[in-house]
Chains A and B, each alone.
Chain A
Amino acid sequence: MSIERATAGERGLGEYVSALVAALGRADPAAFARMRRVVGGRRARIRLDDEEVEIRFVDGALAVEPGGGASPVDGAGSTDRATVLDLMDGRVEVGDAISAGRLDVVADVDAVAAMFAAIEILIDASSRSPELQALAREFRERPGPEPTGGRTAPPRPAEVAAREHALLARLDLLPDAEGPGHRGR
């Protein structure tokens, strides 16, 4: 499991994750500080295809090490390039990817929340960061398995949506009749 460049001129997973976090720090120092607070002292393992790294914040900076080390991790995420591209292209939702086994996250509840919160901070900042958007494009353009090109997980069944709707109604959480249905924006 290597964090070195996969091929000459191409970043490995570890370098790529480092570049993302560094770009976040430059684009939005406040968001970077929020990410550090959310992650705290946790250690995470990230696996993408056959590359694996472990990351944590040390003295305010991101430390990246090869995966498979002896230290325990607080959470682990695993997926492949094709799934990431399908997520980026809106062909599959995160929940569908998890249900279909294309995205694995193993951690306790707090650690899962921290991992997804950190990712959300990064994605939100990317809307206002040309550097982060360029890194996303770099990922898309690197050679590797192509996206599936179609929806790979079925849409949520109607009965699930109906049960959710009934639960929201019992809890008086349904929006007003007009409007698409989200609140508080």
Chain B
Amino acid sequence: MIIADGLRPPTAFDPSAPAYKDWLHLVVLDHRSGVGGLVNASLHGAPSDPRSRAVGAALFHVPGEGWFGNVEVRGFDEASITPTSIGLEQVALAIDATRGTVHASVRQPGDGLGLDLVADAAVRPMPRERPHPLGEGWVAWYVVPRLAGRGRASIGGRSIDLARASAYYDHNWGRWHWGQDLGWEWGCFLAPAPGPSFFLSRLTDRAHRTGSRVLHVAYPDGRQRTFSGPAVERARHGLLETPPRRLPGVLAALHSDVAAPRLERAVLLRADDGHDRVEIRFTARAAAQIIAGDPVEPGYGFVHELVGAFEFDARIGGRDESGAGLAVVEHVD
């Protein structure tokens, strides 16, 4: 299966280049151990601007133990950037388009995390390359809703075989400045293969007052289904009491006013178009807050990652199915 994806840098005379963002995102969920986490590699700012930053983030949550991993921030000249990869000292992500694989590497021994993973695309990718308005700019994306992992992770001193792990990949790119009136909600919910993967997306403003939700369902056998607009409902229940892991620590110190964000403990998603329907019940067990500082315009975005478990009931194409899995839900403002 081909992953026809790569970085989307601005052209040499693109006046919007200072707002350039390119973000590779891989979620890894190990159903056997319950470990869930993410590996991100992203670019912020015009490639020719020495202020522009390459950011690598690797965060994995172990049930009963907490978060492992960290965030690193480098200049573009300190990163290895190719059309299909971003490599920093501690975190690297690469796409092999023809083999249909995503490669992730993490070296954070001081933070208890190491990872070498190759994830094979297991369902048809979903490109959404038409720009969507976001803040004063726009965003587009490319999604592979399920990949099959192979490799190993070293987390908190334990070695985890990722042979049965599920993974989710997406790539967001566009033009925006952190701190603008923008936000989004997103979530990936993966049952163990050959079960379904669900992912939710919603672009919104900073207060999350606008924007409609889209819920996608994808099966390894090729079935895919999309619910959108009023067919998708979301309800939040309770507050997650555990304080989030906040990174980078320096920016966390600057933003003590958001040290205790009101993050949901449980989310109920319902999608029903009168023919097919899905219900997802997600319970968060921990959260991390990644603070993104814009390298050009004064401003910050707050990326909240909630890891947890979910149960689902679905009727797709006349077939009823129920199950459970692991999930990561993201709330950005």
Chain A contacts to B: CB under 8 angstroms: 86-95, 119-120, 123-124, 126-130, 133, 136, 146-147, 149, 151, 155-156, 158, 161, 175-176, 178-182, 185
Please name the residue on chain A nearest to B77 by beta carbon.
A130
Please name the residue on chain A nearest to B180 by beta carbon.
A185
- 7 A-B pairs with least C-beta separation: A127-B293, A181-B262, A90-B249, A180-B261, A90-B247, A123-B254, A88-B249
Given known A94-B256, A180-B302, A185-B206, contact A87–B51 (CB-CB < 8 A): no
Q: A149 to B110, Cβ gap below 8 A?
A: yes
- Most A-side CB within 10 Å, residue of B206, B261, B262: B262
Cβ of B101 under 8 Å from chain A: no
Shortest Cβ gap from A66 to chain B (Å): 27
Cβ of B260 under 8 Å from chain A: yes
Residues in chain A near residue B249, CB distance under 8 A: 86-92
Q: B304 to A156, Cβ gap below 8 A?
A: no
Question: In whole angstroms, what is the CA distance A129 to B294 when docked?
Answer: 11
Question: In whole angstroms, what is the CA distance A19 to B179 when docked?
Answer: 28
Question: In whole angstroms, what is the CA distance A166 to B182 when docked?
Answer: 29
Residues in chain B near residue A95, CB distance under 8 A: 256, 259
Q: B252 to A180, Cβ gap below 8 A?
A: no
Given known A149-B110, A180-B333, contact A127–B251 (CB-CB < 8 A): yes
* B contact residues, total (Cβ < 8 Å): 47
- Most A-side CB within 10 Å, residue of B247, B250, B257, B260: B250
Residues in chain B near residue A127, CB distance under 8 A: 251, 293-295, 298, 300
Q: A128 to B295, Cβ gap below 8 A?
A: yes
Q: B262 to A123, Cβ gap below 8 A?
A: no
Chain B contacts to A: CB under 8 angstroms: 50-51, 66, 70-71, 73, 75, 110-112, 179, 206-209, 236, 241-243, 245-254, 256-263, 293-296, 298, 300, 302, 304, 331, 333
Question: In whole angstroms, what is the CA distance A128 to B50 when docked?
Answer: 10
Please name the residue on chain B nearest to A126 by beta carbon.
B250
Other than the given A93-B252, A123-B254, A151-B66, 8 more pairs (CB < 8 A) read A89-B247, A90-B245, A90-B246, A90-B249, A123-B253, A124-B254, A155-B243, A181-B260
Q: B259 to A93, Cβ gap below 8 A?
A: yes
Shortest Cβ gap from B40 to chain A (Å): 15
Question: In whole angstroms, what is the CA distance A161 to B294 when docked?
Answer: 31
Q: A123 to B251, Cβ gap below 8 A?
A: yes
Question: In whole angstroms, what is the CA distance A158 to B73 when docked?
Answer: 33
Question: In whole angstroms, what is the CA distance A126 to B304 when docked?
Answer: 22
Shortest Cβ gap from B67 to chain A (Å): 9
Q: A130 to B51, Cβ gap below 8 A?
A: yes
- Most B-side CB within 10 Å, residue of A90, A126, A133: A90
Please name the residue on chain B nearest to A131 by beta carbon.
B50
**Partner of A176 from B207, B241, B298 at Cβ < 8 Å:** B207
Residues in chain B near residue A86, CB distance under 8 A: 249
User: What are 18 A-B contacts defined by CB distance under 8 Å?
Assistant: A90-B246, A90-B247, A93-B253, A93-B256, A94-B253, A126-B250, A127-B295, A127-B298, A128-B294, A128-B296, A147-B110, A151-B66, A161-B241, A161-B260, A176-B207, A179-B208, A180-B263, A180-B331
Residues in chain A near residue B245, CB distance under 8 A: 90
Shortest Cβ gap from A127 to chain B (Å): 3
Please name the residue on chain A nearest to B262 by beta carbon.
A181
Question: In whole angstroms, what is the CA distance A32 to B110 when docked?
Answer: 34
Q: A120 to B254, Cβ gap below 8 A?
A: yes
Shortest Cβ gap from B44 to chain A (Å): 10
Q: B333 to A185, Cβ gap below 8 A?
A: yes
**Partner of B241 from A89, A119, A133, A158 at Cβ < 8 Å:** A158
